[in-house]
Amino acid sequence: MIDFSFLARVAPTLAEGLATTVLLAVPAILLSAAWGAVVVMGLLARSRVLAAVTRGYVEAVRNTPVLVQMFFIFFGSGYAGYPISGFTAGLIALVVQNGAYAAEIYRGGIRAVAHRLAEAGLALGLTPRRAFRIIVLPIAIRNVIPPLSNQGVLIIKDTSLVATISVAEMTFHARLLADRTAAVFEIFFTLALFYLLLTALFTGAMRLLERRVRIT
Amino acid sequence: MDLIFNSLPLLARGTLTTLYLSAGAIVLATALGVVLALLQLYGGFILRALVEVYLYVVRGVPLLVLLFAMYYALPYANVQIEPITGGIAVIGLYFGAFMTEVVRAAVLSVPRGQWEAARAVGLTTPRILLDVVLMQAVRMAGPPFVNTCIMVVKGTSLVAIIGLADVTYVGKQIVERTLAPFEIFGAVALVYFVICFGLSRLGQYFERRLNYVH
């Protein structure tokens, strides 16, 4: 049968990169969610100019690969005389890209709230702002948890890309190991297991959160 | 300006590779998505379980890791295929999982009553699936399908990391020689933007043409 003893040999090396992966993924997810909230305000702004500019930003980043954005920021910052680390460049690129996706998720979540609910609030004498805050927003937040969870998984997976701008996270370590040894199947199998574990933990946590805030 | 002008032939060749990879991967992912979604919905227990495992793995493992696995492992397994074919295969297999979601949601959006109505007029199951369900599902699947196609195009940029000369790879090579990251990566980003934005416009056009029902 398959010999699983290689796990014990490969895992410690990958574990070194695990901390970096987590340290990158957590702020990337949190900042993307926060930046998305700012961006969606721009998308829904009453000012036509602001809305158009924000729409332009969202379309620009959603239609270009995050890898190219990382290269742009990483190599560009060095060239401009303000070199930033691969870690920071990767974090910025991930937030710039996924913040735009988060904004679209928020927009969808707000639009999915039945219009008559807000109207009922207005009929009761709430100001539009208050109707939004105490009626629309609580429902919208519940709407967006599942798609945000999906986006979070994509962010975790995309942290592997910073291996190309010399950040020593899991995939970087796996690649070093694969260059030095012949046990490539075992290495990438273990690496895949690590990612599966991370994403499973994340989706599990998000599902708990979803259950906690559910309206029964 | 001169710099961009001189780089154009190289960038153009990279763009062709990107287009070739994207087209191949989209075709493969779509075919896989249809087959897997139908298996997941109508297959037997074992087939369904296999599809679930496949989807679970692909959803949790980065595309880059799968590309590396292919790149490093194939020589050991004594499999000799063109790197570009391997790239199309891995990207297609990866986004096949996303396409499965798209097809599944679209098929499920066709009301159950239509199955019953089709059966009542005497259609066989394959006929119902093809003429009634899939025909309507195609319309429902439009926007998410286009979004997934855009993800595929963006995803092909990762082959630059395993040394395939797509537009991202070519861009990086030029930057290493010319030290003009803003201009070159800007141009590379523009290439992707044109392809992806074009795709989404095309998608909107077809959506309008096909949506005569509503």
Domain ranges of chain B: 2-210
Could you say which DSSP state residue B129 is in? I
Q: Are A210 and A146 in contact (CB under 8 A)?
A: yes
From residue B159, give the alpha-carbon distance in Å to each of B57, B60, B64, B154: 20, 19, 8, 10
Q: What percent of chain B has pLDDT over 90?
A: 41
Determine whether the interchain pair A163/B168 forms a contact, defined as Cβ–Cβ distance below 8 Å.
no
Computed from CA positions of residues A54, A57, A63, A66, in that sequence, does the dihedral angle turn out positive or negative? negative
Q: For chain A, what's the residue count?
A: 216
Q: Looking at residue A2, what is its pLDDT?
A: 57
Determine whether the interchain pair A63/B57 forms a contact, defined as Cβ–Cβ distance below 8 Å.
no
Q: Looking at residue B197, what is its pLDDT?
A: 92
Residue of A99, A88, A97 whose CA lies nearest to A165: A88
pLDDT bracket for residue B121 (50, 70, 90)? confident
> For chains A and B, what is the number of CB pairs under 8 angstroms?
119
Mean pLDDT of the region A28-33: 96
Determine whether the interchain pair A71/B73 forms a contact, defined as Cβ–Cβ distance below 8 Å.
no
Q: Are A150 and A70 in contact (CB under 8 A)?
A: no
From residue B13, give the alpha-carbon distance in Å to each of A30, B3, B17, B194: 39, 16, 7, 16
Q: Are A66 and A161 in contact (CB under 8 A)?
A: yes
CA pair distance A44, A188, nearest whole angstrom:
44
Interacting residues of B183 by C-beta distance below 8 A, sequence separation 6+: B3, B4
Instruction: Compute the nearest-CA separation of A4 from chain B (Å).
Output: 18
CA pair distance A200, A202, nearest whole angstrom:
5
Determine whether the interchain pair B182/A188 forms a contact, defined as Cβ–Cβ distance below 8 Å.
no
Q: Which of B56, B57, B181 sits opposite A76 (nearest CB)?
A: B181
Please state which CATH class domain A6-213 belongs to. Answer: mainly alpha
Q: What percent of chain A has pLDDT over 90?
A: 56
pLDDT bracket for residue A3 (50, 70, 90)? low
Q: Looking at residue B1, what is its pLDDT?
A: 64
Structural domain boundaries in chain A: 6-213
Q: What is the pLDDT of residues A180-205, one digit of tens each?
A: 887 788 888 889 999 999 999 999 99
CA B173 to chain centre: 26
Q: Both tokens of residue B87?
A: 């790239």
Mean pLDDT of the region B174-178: 86
More confident residue, B143 or A91: A91
Question: In chain A, what residues touch B66 (CB-CB under 8 Å)?
Answer: 192
Instruction: Compute the nearest-CA separation of B44 from chain A (Å).
Output: 26
Among the four given CATH numbers 2.40.10.480, 3.20.20.80, 3.30.9.10, 1.10.3720.10, the one describing domain B2-210? 1.10.3720.10
Determine whether the interchain pair A184/B161 forms a contact, defined as Cβ–Cβ distance below 8 Å.
no
Q: Compare all CA atoms of chain B with the CA of A172 and give the residue at the minimum distance.
A: B65
CA pair distance A94, A54, nearest whole angstrom:
18
Question: In chain B, what residues touch A160 (CB-CB under 8 Å)?
Answer: 62, 64-65
Mean pLDDT of the region B114-131: 83
Q: Compare all CA atoms of chain A with the CA of B159 and give the residue at the minimum distance.
A: A67
Say whether pLDDT at B213 is over 70.
no
Determine whether the interchain pair B185/A68 forms a contact, defined as Cβ–Cβ distance below 8 Å.
yes
Task: Convert B141-156 to b/e letters by CB count within 10 Å (16 or more is b).
Answer: bbebbbbbbbbbbbbb
Instruction: Compute the nearest-CA separation of A99 from chain B (Å).
Output: 16
Mean pLDDT of the region B187-202: 92
Question: In chain B, what residues touch A64 (CB-CB under 8 Å)?
Answer: 154, 189, 192-193, 196
Instruction: Compute the nearest-CA separation of A46 from chain B (Å).
Output: 25
From residue A212, give the alpha-carbon distance in Å to each of A48, A142, A144, A202, A208: 38, 10, 14, 15, 6
Q: Looking at residue B127, what is its pLDDT?
A: 81
Q: Compare all CA atoms of chain B with the CA of A152 and give the residue at the minimum distance.
A: B60
Determine whether the interchain pair B193/A63 forms a contact, defined as Cβ–Cβ distance below 8 Å.
yes
Determine whether the interchain pair B154/A174 forms a contact, defined as Cβ–Cβ distance below 8 Å.
no
Say whether pLDDT at A121 is over 90.
no
Mean pLDDT of the region B42-63: 90
Q: Looking at residue B152, what is its pLDDT?
A: 95
Q: Are A134 and A121 in contact (CB under 8 A)?
A: yes
CA pair distance A13, A19, nearest whole angstrom:
11
More confident residue, B114 or B14: B14
AA identity, residue B80: Q
Q: Looking at residue A1, what is its pLDDT?
A: 47
Look over chain B and give the mean of its residue pLDDT values, rounded to a whole number: 87
**Predicted TM-score (pTM) of this structure:** 0.88
